[in-house]
């Protein structure tokens, strides 16, 4: 049986604003976190994260289901739409460390922060983004959400 292989293609470093509590019920919490900018760098894509998008999160029983929507402008000027869905879960210890401002690495056993981004663009040099499956390993670092993006082969 062949197992999928992962190829690192770039990292998204999204700058975010304070999250906004929207509401819901006693066992879940809905919030929105604005994306205000950022950078993209890696072997297959470089550019900037455009402000104006955001991340909606529904937290149930300690796990947040995430759905972020924002855009990237590649260095060559083409715009790429990003829909990034995933999950965030952390132990109480990791949450306390993050609240103190500590950067917790994505491979910390107390942190699960994984995504499955989907890209759309009509920019010819970036069509490969709209034609393949990707996974992301995420972490908070230096006040940004950082997502290492891997192409699934």
The predicted-structure confidence for 54-88, as pLDDT tens digits, reads as follows 999 999 999 999 999 999 999 999 999 999 999 99
* CATH fold label, 6-152: Porin (2.40.160)
Asked whether residue 25 carries a pLDDT value surpassing 80, the answer given is no
pTM for the structure as a whole: 0.93
State how far the Cα of 4 lies from the Cα of 114, in Å rounded to an integer: 17
Backbone angles phi, psi at 104, to 5 degrees: -105, 125
């Amino acid at each position: 049986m062949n197992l999928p292989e992962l190829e690192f293609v770039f990292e998204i470093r999204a700058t975010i604003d304070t999250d906004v509590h929207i509401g819901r019920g006693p066992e879940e919490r809905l919030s929105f976190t604005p994306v205000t900018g950022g950078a993209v760098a890696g072997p297959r894509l470089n550019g900037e994260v455009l402000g104006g998008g955001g991340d909606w999160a529904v937290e149930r029983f300690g796990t947040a289901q995430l759905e972020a929507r924002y855009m990237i402008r590649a260095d060559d000027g083409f715009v790429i739409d990003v829909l990034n869905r995933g999950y965030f879960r952390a132990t109480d210890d990791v949450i306390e460390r993050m609240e103190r401002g500590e950067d917790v690495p994505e491979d910390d056993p107390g942190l699960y922060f994984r995504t499955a981004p989907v890209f759309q663009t009509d920019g010819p040099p970036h069509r490969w983004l709209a034609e393949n499956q990707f996974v992301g390993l995420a972490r908070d670092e230096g006040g940004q959400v950082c997502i290492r993006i891997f192409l699934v082969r």
